[in-house]
Amino acid sequence: MIPLSSYLIVGAILFVLGMIGFLTRRNMILMFLCAEMMLQGVAINLVAFARHHGNLHGQVFTLFIITVAACEAALALALILMLYRTKKSLDVSLWQELREPGQEAILDLDEPVPELPREEPLPHLTPSGIAPPQKREDSYV
């Protein structure tokens, strides 16, 4: 029989590794994976405590954690893809304009912010209810 402390140590190690990775990485995908690792560390601890106490409360909480993690994975992947399309990079320091108004920019002192290639602005969509201008082609005459 494996003692409870072994499970708790493994869960704590997973949580701490995920926290260190989340705080030190600048790549959005790696930050997301580190957050998932922290959730799995908590899930291991909940299951270990549930088994130790002889009830199913920890397993129920773990099912909720896994469900929330799956939803988070879908939303985070969509957010990462949309932000990558606009910035062409997954570096977190490039997304300073997403902060709240009045909040100062947080820049890393170790590395300068990379320059982005200049691109043409995205086309604007026609507002709803207004018909876009039609091009007339007189090819039948």
Q: What is the mean pLDDT of the chain?
A: 82
Torsional class of 121: left (φ above 0), alpha (ψ -120 to 50), beta (otherwise): beta
pLDDT tens, residue by residue, 94-138: 777 777 788 777 766 566 655 666 667 777 776 777 676 777 776
The domain in which residue 10 lies consists of 4-90
With a threshold of 0.75, does the pTM exceed it? no
Mean pLDDT, residues 74-84 taken together: 85
The answer to whether position 53 is within a domain reads yes
Amino acid at site 121:
P
Closest by CA position to 57, among listed 66, 47, 65, 67:
47
For residue 15, give the CATH number of its domain: 1.10.287.3510
The answer to whether position 128 is within a domain reads no
The answer to whether position 125 is within a domain reads no
* Number of domains forming the structure of the chain: 1
